[in-house]
A = this chain, B = another copy of it.
């Protein structure tokens, strides 16, 4: 039996109510195509697309947009050579890119947070699963610095950015994936959940880290570990790939990672 792209979309969206302004849709390709192979990824980069073409996979399920903006607008990119080269490759190879952003964040629990917590080996520390964050309790206490090293080694990343006091012993932390690292999310959480530590993906530099800096200057024990956006979300897409492979055993489904987009010099 042939499996179409629409079959995969139906599986992904079956139990999810998407907001009206969702960014999730088939960004390229057409849903009536028969699936020849599935690549699941965080970012559908030029490299990931080339790799899919080489492997004969015609469906890429991606958390982020291929076109350098959250809403996948392309009018502003007309005549841009990087966009045109990427779009031509996608069109000529018949690659369908399905955006799975709002969907997976609406899984119960959030599929991206769940994948990260599993990758960090922290499932047994989860005390609460809120919509925007998992609240963790480390009963034995760990320094923020030790936690930073654990994050790096578990995720295979070269660096994290740390604000506040890395020496403090943390017993309560929140884990916030993607762009949930802004102050209006993290600061109320710190108070309401009596947190020592925020572990987040990305957020404005003038919000959470500056709050943490002020807290430490006031003598409070607080720290922040900023992992990187992709670093915080790729594990969730890997978990999705595992689930798709289990649900569609007749399909070739693979997760494709990317190197970190930044290196530190």
Chain A: residues with CB nearer than 8 A to chain B?
43, 45-47, 50, 64-65, 68-70, 76-77, 79-82, 85-86, 145, 148-149, 152, 159-163, 166, 179, 183-184, 187-188, 191, 202, 204-211, 213-215, 217-218, 220, 226, 228-230, 258, 261-265
Q: Inside 8 A of A46's CB, which chain B residues have their CB?
A: 213-214, 217-218
Given contacts A214-B86, A217-B50, A229-B206, contact A262 B68 (CB under 8 A): no
A148 touches B205 (CB 8 A): no
B162 touches A217 (CB 8 A): no
Q: Which of A45, A148, A187, A206 has the most CB of B within 10 A?
A: A206
Smallest distance from the beta carbon of A207 to chain B beta carbons, Å?
A: 5
B263 touches A162 (CB 8 A): yes
Smallest distance from the beta carbon of A180 to chain B beta carbons, Å?
A: 13
A70 touches B217 (CB 8 A): no
